[in-house]
Amino acid sequence: MSRFTPEEVEAAKVECLIDGHKALHLEAHLRDVHGMTVEQYQRMYPNAPVVSQLVLTIESELAPNINRRKAKSADELVVSLAGLKLPVNHLVPAEACLPLPPNYRLPRFGKLAQSIAMLIEYIACNRSTWVSGPPGTGKDAVIHAISALLRKPALMLTIDPSLDIDSWMFEKDFGPGEDGQAETFYTYGKLFKALTEGYTDANGDVHPYIILLSDFDRATKAQVEKLRLILDSIQGRVMGPNGDAVPVVSGTTIVATANSQGGGDETGRCISARPVDSSIMNRFERKVIFSPMSWKDEGEIVKSKFPALFEHDATTLDAIGYSTKALRKAIEDGELYAEFSHRDVCNWCSAAVDRLQLRPNKTSNLLSVAAQGWIQGLPDRESRLEAARIIDPFIKGGHMGGQHIEDEDELVPGF
């Protein structure tokens, strides 16, 4: 059997394209650190190696005549999400699905992981679902991930009060007919086609869509009445332009995301959220509330997104983590009028990276200066002072000895 020097072993390791970790076999690292399978990883990074050639060489020398297990056919592909083994529609191309968000990690700890596990069950059973929660909790992102990982065709439509959403369904048009004479007719929009036609793959099989209606609670009363037509699809039909009931592709799943639970803004921080008629809310078979991510999950995502920041100073991750938990606790307790979402965490980190690149010799107060990009966006002087007071103990070198914020989030069973 071949013998290899330590240098040869180190050189033979394969690199994780998410965070740069190197190993002879990445399967355990992907599972334990990123919460994903090899199949999920290779869908994100096609053709990326997960096993070193050195390992394959040793295996062939140890057991040259071994009959390896036959690889599963594409029809047998499954992905494990929240403990559920769900089939992958391999004939549906990636371009028919929503894209997987960069550096996406399915949360595994705390309340958000529990909510996502529930949501995955609802979608697996094709249940129409209302997903609510504060900004930046990943409501739309998880639908993107489910669509991308399971190859479920999906259509995302964002509600904007200024939009005329008739074009999503159908519009009356005017033009020459077959005989050359002018006539009126209807043109059908992408939403009506998705509901009634689905996606047809290369074999001619029809796959139902996930319809993601983002920011549903921003809709005006007029828009809600038009959206009522869409929600009728939950009953297996949708009304056409002539009042006729058109069948909807079986298995079509409607998911609405919103900052409120349908009763309008409760916090005063999402004033564009409007009350939603109870007759609309009753059309959704399931409801689920998202909360901010556990730092056990969020810290890994942040570390993978901004490696240069944490290579500069490894303690920076702890400083940001303790600050994040302290800010969110103050917000939850009503002591600070603000939102501090995952987007805000990433904006803070990116501001620090920008300053690190532009002023590499002035890094003694890096996090304090970078935090101003968020703090100065708070609505009043009192909030700005309070936010600075909360994070100062953690970002000025005393984060390990300062106020301790317990992280009691446990791993959710099945992840």
Average pLDDT, the chain: 83
Identify the DSSP state of 315.
T
Cα torsion 36, 39, 42, 43: sign:
negative
Instruction: Kindly state the average pLDDT of the residues 54-82.
Output: 61
- Rounded to a whole number, what is the distance in angstroms from the first to the last CA of the chain? 39
Instruction: Kindly state the average pLDDT of the residues 226-244.
Output: 79
Residue 239, pLDDT above cutoff 60 = yes
* Nearest 10 degrees: Cα torsion 35, 40, 41, 43: -160
Q: How many CB atoms lie within 10 A of CB 80?
A: 18
- Residue, of 171 and 214, whose pLDDT is higher: 214
pLDDT at 205: 94
pLDDT at 75: 60
CA 3 to chain centroid: 45
Instruction: Kindly state the average pLDDT of the residues 247-269.
Output: 80
Over residues 109-122, the pLDDT tens digits come to 999 999 999 999 99
Of 289, 264, 257, 262, residue with least CA distance to 278 = 262
Helices (H), 85-176: 110-124, 139-150, 166-169
pLDDT at 99: 93
pLDDT at 51: 86
Q: 124-138, 159-173, 201-215: which has the minimum mean pLDDT? A: 159-173
Q: 50-59, 281-290, 310-319: which has the minimum mean pLDDT? A: 50-59
Residue 400, pLDDT above cutoff 50 = no
Of 311, 310, 373, residue with least CA distance to 345 = 373
Residue 139, pLDDT above cutoff 60 = yes
> What is the Cβ-side half-sphere exposure of residue 394, based on CA atoms within 13 angstroms?
22
| Gap between the Cα atoms of 105 and 279, Å rounded | 35
Over residues 313-366, the pLDDT tens digits come to 888 999 999 999 999 999 989 899 888 999 999 999 999 999 999 998 888 889
Return phi, psi of residue 168, to 5°: -70, -30
- Residue, of 66 and 407, whose pLDDT is higher: 407
Residues in the chain: 415
Of 312, 370, 310, residue with least CA distance to 344 = 370
Three-state SS for 131? strand
pLDDT at 152: 96
